[in-house]
Amino acid sequence: MLGDIQDNKGRGEAAWQWPSIHPEGRKFGLIAAVICLVAALFAWETIAWPMAGLTLCILAFFRDPVRVVPQGGGLIIAPADGLVSLIREVEPPRELQVEDGSGSPRLGSAPVTRISIFMSVFDVHINRAPIGGTVRRVVYIPGKFLNADLDKASEENERQHLLIEAADGTVIGFTQIAGLVARRILPFVKPGDIIAAGQRIGLIRFGSRVDVYLPAGTDAKVILGQKIVAGEPILGELGQQQQLEGLPL
């Protein structure tokens, strides 16, 4: 029966099903649906049909599909759906470098590999933790709303930095960045929370970007232009360095 345990040995049953809608999106979907219903009751078709389409779009935007998170030590999991738009050697954000008075770990100032994942309005916008561990920092920075696909969006746009410390002391920093259409970053976690790899940690409404800072000595296991989803692809493996190239098929 669908809902029973499923595994790589063939147990369980598989069937397509509608993904669930995150609670954050249900209220917006309900508002649009009520407006659509009222317009339909008064035969205001010029309003009813567009609102029906908007209701479906809202529900699709806030969809929250189940993901199968890879298990294993040293794995850094993709935190967002979207396109790998930038892979650069950069200095980590200052907010994740400086001492914040709590005595919590921080990132160094040495350049590391940053992987930027651009989310369009058609992608799932639930963000997930790249590693399991303890949330050490959640730092919100107000800013502009430039195109999130631009490199300078990492430093100028509204953004939220997060720092997670794994049980072995590994520290991973990543940043949620608002874009042209995105106007609100919603966190689901706070400093001190203990989370699992692939756990939902927040969302950004209506198109945006997530930057992940790989630890020194770790190369990206994705390539520029690759389409990925949150919670499943492996962005990197601690201490592993390898040159990857994409081949056109």
**What is the residue-averaged pLDDT of the chain?**
85
Average pLDDT over residues 101-127: 87
pLDDT of 183 > 90? The answer is no
SS3 content of the chain, % helix, strand, coil (to 5): 15, 30, 50
* pLDDT band per the 50, 70, 90 thresholds, residue 21: confident
Q: What confidence score (pLDDT) does residue 1 get?
A: 46
Beta bridge partners of 161: 139, 175
Establish whether 208 is a catalytic residue. Answer: yes
By the 8 A CB rule, do 208 and 148 touch?
Answer: yes
Question: In the predicted model, is pLDDT for residue 2 greater than 90?
Answer: no
Dihedral sign (CA 232, 238, 240, 244): positive
pLDDT grade, residue 46 (50/70/90)? confident
CA distances from 248 to 61, 183, 208, 228, 245 (A): 30, 36, 27, 17, 10
Catalytic residue among 85, 116, 154, 208: 208
Categorize the per-residue pLDDT at 214 as very low, low, confident or very high, splitting at 50, 70 and 90.
very high
203-214 exposure pattern, b = at least 16 Cβ within 10 A, e = fewer: bbbbbbbbbbbb
- pLDDT at residue 184 in the model: 75
Residue 204 belongs to what H/E stretch?
A: strand 200-204
* Bridge partners, residue 186, by sequence: 203
| Residue 10 exposed, middle or buried by CB count within 10 Å (0-12, 13-18, 19+) | exposed
State residue 248's pLDDT score.
64
Q: How many residues does the chain have?
A: 249
Contacts of 192 (CB under 8 A, 6+ apart): 134, 135
Q: What is the pLDDT of residue 158?
A: 81
Q: Per CATH, is 75-235 categorized as 1.10.490?
A: no
What is the structure's pLDDT at 3?
A: 55
Pick the more confident residue, 150 or 176: 176
Whole-model pTM? 0.83
- The reported pLDDT for the residue numbered 199 is 94
pLDDT in tens, 49-97: 989 998 888 888 888 888 889 988 889 999 999 999 999 999 999 888 8
